[in-house]
Chains A and B, each alone.
Chain A
Amino acid sequence: MLIASSDPLAFNLLPFLTTIVVFSIVALALGVFVWPKILKGLDDRNAKILHEIESAEAARVAAGLKQKEFEAKLAAALEESDRMLREARAAALRLGDEIRAKNESDLADRARRAGEEIENARRTAIAELEAHAASLAVAIAGRILEREITPADQKRMVEQSLAGMSSTRG
């Protein structure tokens, strides 16, 4: 019968054999029931992460292409809008010039018409003033002569006065 020893380096066959048997069994059990599951879980996760990274990379590349496409479209749109703006500005300027020219023409026309109307009014007023002055002169002359002037006389005297004024003015 073997007995336990106080020497820590003492070799004991039973623990030696027990360890070999127990470790062999547990290594086999772990190899069948544990490590495949853990390693599959790790590999699945690695594959998933790798797939997600690759997908993200592909999405990034696609997004880059889309961005370039968008930027090209944006640049074209900006150019088109600039062109349209330039054209609109030119049209507006042209229209403004036309309107201004028309306004100026209308204004000159109105001024000319107003001048004519003023001239006509002035002539009418002068004529009326002359007629009135002739009437007054006749009336005054009648009073001076102390005699009744008939309408026929008055008319004749006015016509004479007017003729005199016209000749004077003329």
Chain B
Amino acid sequence: MFMFQHLNFSATTFAIAILFWSIQVLTSLLYGKKCRHDISAFVFLVPSALLLLSAISAWLQPSIHFASNSILMIGTEVLSMKLDLLSSLFLFLLAAIGSCTSIFSLSYLPHLKDHLHPGHYWSALSLFMLSMSMLLVSANALSFLVFWELMALSSFALIASEHQKHKVRDAAVVYLTATRIATACLTAGFVLMFSVVHSWDFSAWSFSRTNLLPALLIAVGLCIKSGLWPFHLWLPYAYTAAPSPVSAIMSGVMTKLSLYAAIRILVNGGVDSLIIIGLFLVLGLISAFWGLLFALVQQDLKKLLAYSSIENLGIIFCGLGLALLARRLNIPDAACLALTACIFQTFNHGFFKPLLFLCAGTIDVAANTRDLSQLGGLARRLPFTMICFLLGSIALCALPPLNGFASKWLLYTALFHQAWESPQIFVRALCLVWIGTLGLVGGLAIFCFTRAIGITFLGNARSSAAGNADELGKSSRIAQAILASACVLIGLASPFVAQHIQTIACVSLKIPVPHASPFQLPLATVTLFSVLAIAFLYAFFLNASKIRMFNTWDCGFGALSARTQIGSLSFTQPIARIFSPILRYKLLIEINGKDRRHFPESIQTEAQTISVLETKVYLPILAFIRRAAGLFAKIQAGSIHLYLLYLCITLALLIIVGAYL
């Protein structure tokens, strides 16, 4: 398929993996409904494993360049590919998540058999993985755009895989619209850039002050695709509608690819315009805050995870903006730290968010609902999933010793560095504001996930389905275990990982690579000692024999039911009230009965949050477009002769315009 300049191991394995996936795209389509999930998952695992090998072996050597064969050239340009450290890191993430989700699919997908067309699903999934891996090695704008489009379309097909449901169809359309706009922005930016530089190669692009518009277009396109505020609307819908393995890949890898593109195109291209830096910093901060705030009040577990994805992407883009700012202000060590933190956070989020999505998928199928007010008491039914979910949440909340901690730590370090070393007082103040807000977001994240875990796993079941839930199968547990242990391992090995990522960051920023690791805390040692200490304390002071069993006082009302537990609404109410101007949070309480004050007969409560952006901005725009389209529909009369007349008039007008203008 490819012509290699030097035929080496990682390029060969990469090409074989791509070939495998392209074959699977076709065979799954051919088999159609007869396509079997178990065989497909195993076949899917092979290229994923090959890609993993390719990514790991690519770490050990300098970047590899290869070009497409002349037959495959679209037009006149040679489509060059490049596999360097940055792309190999993302390829590693892609391959790891791809293999885990395919293992998970083995026991998850058979539960969806009524809605899912297996042939379409596996073919779209293979195409999705293929396009993402090709995107990661594309070194020029043309092939980048082609695979970007393929990625968008195949993920659209995957989101729509349960298209019998009305909600899923709506979500897919919203997603498609968002990706269309993103691609339009990107294409416009690329074409403008080509008209200035006269090359499609990313390595030839440099964004000086005069190239602000293309850089801005590209940045906006990437922001839309990664779901930053205010373009985040598609994200909760899409993640909720897609099957869990798909939402895992989308949240873990696909949205990260826009960060990859930002580093590859904008950071490598030397963007230093304040507008773009400001765009990343401000949108990042708002998304982090906004996403988490909405995650706090969600009732749907997957929607909660989706909003928390928005928060994480916000933090990641904050790191990116910070790195660009530090480079502009000529503080290389802060820039290096910030970009390291940004890539590290991306990498970590790529592991713990898929883990959480897979756990949510297990819960969804096992308890037959994702509604938090229907769940509860799953700790006894799904103990394994609970441990995995807990580990994922700890990582997400950036608590040591898991992986999220190291990247957040690096981000804060970068912010403090910047605040300390920058000469302008304005930048210092700005950094302090960012530190404060990110701190608040981190605290709220802990609250949010305490709620998610507490309501889902603790207490008693709030519905009979949740009470009878069962673990799915061995393969789902294996997939969760791999991802959870990856979170722990990356956390314990964070000094090494951070150093590796620091190299990538410094190469991208074109500054010399420092020798020391940016993350110096002896996390593994501390963890070992604290685990030993806790075990010691537990064994000698808190031992289990001292637990007393007694009944909870029920105020004399009789037996306590599951409804007397703290609910998902009541848990968030205090915080939701504080932020009620933003959330438009309203608590509607209706008390009925003769003596309402002392002996109410029925009490109804309902919490309401309105997304202002959706109702006040997007829906009016949509309504306007609908009305305009309705006007246009009037000229569609159905008569062929009328259509021909339109053609005729257009032609005549064009000729007249061509002749006299």
The answer to whether A and B interact is: no
**Could you list which residues of chain A lie within 8 angstroms of chain B, going by C-beta atoms?**
none
